[in-house]
């Protein structure tokens, strides 16, 4: 499994996936985590994300490698934006490709669950 | 829940999602089902999809409505291409938006599982 993990302070620019003609990937999943304009009936202009970056990268790598053993996923891209993210903009993009859909969807969900649980990235209103 | 279900004989043209600033959707999922260039070690140039279109539309609507009761998803788009789909091109696109990620991912997976089980769309090599 190839992986591309990135923390960035810039807005996420995500192009639609391009599928190679010779592909062995029948399933592509894109997940976007977007800052909502309200949270518990309170209007939100932006969220602020901070990270302990070196540790966050290491922990993301650990999670991705562990899930890559569990699920036969071919390639994963994960980009998390840090700093101020205005409402309506994505703070997280995950893209996964695999032969079949079940592992791509399960990998995506577990990756984000694990990330929220153990990666030192904090969100503040 | 709003839904947009489409069967088309044209290539799928899918733009990256655009997130409104006032959004209450924190989770966006895109799923692409792509024709693989090989299947069980045999090279594939294309797959051919045929449908009993009127019944397929009705059955898709039924599935989407039932899943919409089960999961608090806000909007779903599903487009299935019919006819000849060359390897490396998507035959299916599903996009789901919801407040939180768990329901978007579960809805997406179950929608495709149910579709494959009961919607009269057939695939031939």
Residue A42 has pLDDT above 90, yes or no: no
**CATH 3.30.470.20 holds for B2-10+26-124:** no
Top-level CATH class of A2-10+26-36+44-124?
alpha beta
Residue A40 has pLDDT above 80, yes or no: no
Using a CB–CB cutoff of 8 Å, tell me whether B84 touches chain A.
no
Q: Do A88 and B23 touch (CB under 8 A)?
A: yes
**Which residues between 31 and 60 in chain B have a beta carbon less than 8 angstroms from any beta carbon of chain A?**
31-38
Q: Do A34 and B21 touch (CB under 8 A)?
A: no
Size of chain B in residues: 125
d(CA A36, CA A45): 9
Token pair in block for residue A8: 């960035």
What ipTM score was computed for the predicted complex, to two decimals? 0.95
Residues A59-114 have pLDDT tens digits of: 999 999 999 999 999 999 999 999 999 999 999 999 999 999 999 999 999 999 99
pLDDT category at B9 given cuts 50, 70, 90 is: very high
Contacts of A23 in chain B (CB under 8 A): 34, 36-37, 87-88
d(CA A109, CA A94): 10
d(CA B111, CA B116): 9
Residues B79-125 have pLDDT tens digits of: 999 999 999 999 999 999 999 999 999 999 999 999 999 999 999 98
Pick the closest to residue A106 from B84, B112, B90, B49 (CA basis). Answer: B112
For testing the chain B interface, which of A12, A17, A31 should be mutated: the one with the most B CBs within 10 Å?
A31
């Amino acid at each position: 499994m190839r992986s591309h993990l990135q923390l960035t302070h810039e807005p996420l620019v995500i192009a639609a996936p391009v599928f190679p003609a010779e592909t062995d990937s029948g399933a592509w999943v894109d997940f976007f985590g977007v800052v909502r304009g309200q949270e518990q009936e309170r209007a939100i202009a932006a969220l602020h994300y901070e990270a302990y970056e070196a540790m966050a990268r290491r922990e993301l790598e650990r999670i991705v490698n562990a899930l890559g053993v569990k699920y036969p996923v071919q390639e994963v891209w994960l980009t998390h934006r840090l700093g101020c993210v205005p409402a309506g903009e994505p703070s997280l993009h995950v893209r996964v490709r695999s032969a079949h859909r079940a592992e791509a969807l399960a990998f995506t969900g577990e990756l984000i669950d694990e990330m929220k649980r153990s990666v030192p990235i904090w969100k503040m209103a």
